[in-house]
Structure 1
Amino acid sequence: MSDKPRVLFVCVHNAGRSQMAAGLLGHLSGGAVEVRSAGSAPADSINPVAVEAMREIGVDITTGAPAVLTDDAVRASDVVITMGCGDACPYFPGKRYLDWDLDDPAGQGLEAVRPIRDEIRRRVEDLLTELGVRPAR
């Protein structure tokens, strides 16, 4: 792993879970982690309910945009965290892979997305600990 850990979050549409995770990791790491996100079949825009759920906790994910998953993005990452992208996620030896089984916020209301957001936050905080990065609160 490089001096600055590089983490890639991947889900199918790159519009909800992976965007929330990337936003939280960027926010909580204070820039100490290089963060990317991508999707195996990216949507046109970020889920507005995910945007609102993140806004509630002071994290702005409106600057992100769904991006297509590439082999280069995986190669450039130390840790690849998948969230339901299935067999579309490429595998490269030497990378650390984690699979976070999380509900999909697509089509859900804010009440249903909040617990997903909170679980992502818990996992991101655990990841920071594993990476040896102190959260910037």
Structure 2
Amino acid sequence: MPDTYKRHGLTIDQQLALTTAARRLGEEFAGTFGTETIERFLHTSYDQFASKAAVANFLPLLAERFARQRLHALARVEGHGDGRPIVLFLCVHNAGRSQMALGFFTELAGEAAVGWSGGSEFAAGINPAAVASMAERGIDISREYPKPWTEEIVAAADVVITMGCGDACPIYPGKRYEDWELDDPAGLAVEQVRPIRDEIERRVRALLEQLDVPAKA
């Protein structure tokens, strides 16, 4: 078992889960990244969630999911992408606006484009009112999770959409940025979130049109 995981004082179950995750990622990215890179990304992803996770048993799963996204981003930066446009949605907590935008983007674009999201001060969970309002449109974002952004994720994105994160949002020269001024759904009831949701859908559809990505009806 890698010493990397032992040094963190993890339980045996967590160590085994991370070891299994590293093996899965190694198989998935064989020929693109070596074991050292994969374990480093998994290790640092775990650290980013460790201080906020409400249930420690879920940490290895969150770390694996985020490490996978980061490795895909790094592959894109290093010239191994598949050509599909990547859009990154950023807000403060990655619990409401950016998650709703990602939900619409993923649903409407299908496999034709890639959507990611992140937060400058990512929360411990998704806003329940955002989940409920999206469910009314047949889109399930309950399985998503707040996450930070990392350098390779921002670098890989073709378009970065910011929503209220101000100076905390990362700026990379030459990258396309849009700032969407939207009310923060934090603390709002579902009926108050619906107008925000509908405006986000309108903007996502317009963005897909600009990217020449046909949106599902």
Same topology, TM > 0.5? yes
Instruction: Spell out, residue by residue over 1:110-132, the C-alpha distance to the aligned partner (whole angstroms, 9 max, x if none).
Output: 11100000000000000000000
Give distance in 2, aligned partners of 1:62 and 1:33: 21
Identity level (%): 58
Q: TM-score, normalised by structure 2?
A: 0.61
Larger radius of gyration: 2
Give distance in 2, aligned partners of 1:100 and 1:30: 22
For 1:129, the equivalent position in structure 2 comes to: 209
| Structure 1 residue corresponding to 2:102, chosen from 14, 18, 22 | 22
Which structure 2 residue ranges, 5 or more long, are not aligned? 1-81
| Structure 1 residue corresponding to 2:124, chosen from 41, 44, 60 | 44
SS in 2 for 1:30: helix
For 2:86, the equivalent position in structure 1 comes to: 6
**Superposed, which structure 2 residues align to 1:14-93 within 5 Å?**
14-93=94-173
Q: TM-score, normalised by structure 1?
A: 0.96
Which is worse superposed, 106-115 or 70-79? 70-79
CA shift at 1:33, angstroms? 1.1
SS in 1 for 2:112: coil
Give distance in 2, aligned partners of 1:3 and 1:122: 25
Over aligned residues, Cα RMSD in angstroms?
0.9
SS in 2 for 1:15: coil
Instruction: Using CA pairs under 8 Å that are at least 6 residues apart, name the structure with larger relative contact order, 1 or 2.
Output: 1
SS in 2 for 1:45: coil
More helix by share: 2
Which structure 1 residue ranges, 5 or more long, are not aligned? none
Instruction: Spell out, residue by residue over 1:82-105, the C-alpha distance to the aligned partner (whole angstroms, 9 max, x if none).
Output: 000111111111210000000000
Give distance in 2, aligned partners of 1:31 and 1:101: 27
Divergent runs of 4+, >3 A: none
**Superposed, which structure 2 residues align to 1:102-121 within 5 Å?**
102-121=182-201
